[in-house]
Amino acid sequence: MFTRLGDRLFLGRVLPHTYPDETRGSTPSDAVRVEDVRIRPDGYVKAVVTDHGKRERTSTEYADVPVDADWEPVPGFGD
């Protein structure tokens, strides 16, 4: 998820889902694993991984992560 900060966009959240197979019609509730990664512009990252198969949730925090690649220019109208 991008957030506008000044004249640029910052990728502050990534939420990938893993499914048991690649069948069409999967919904988010069918996911066997969900990663919720939140990133701050200062390089702090918190990742929470929920593994529904193992019934387990783990949380990891990182500091000083390079975030240069997480910035994007704001697209022009219609782009």
pLDDT in tens, 4-41: 999 999 999 999 998 887 666 677 788 899 999 999 99
What values do phi and psi take at 24, rounded to 5?
A: -70, 155
With a cut of 80, say whether residue 79 has pLDDT above it.
no
pLDDT score, position 48: 98
Percentage of the chain beyond pLDDT 70 is: 92
Rounded CA-CA distance 16/3 in Å is 18
pLDDT score, position 27: 79
Identity at 51, one-letter amino acid code: D
pTM: 0.81
Mean pLDDT of all residues in the chain? 91
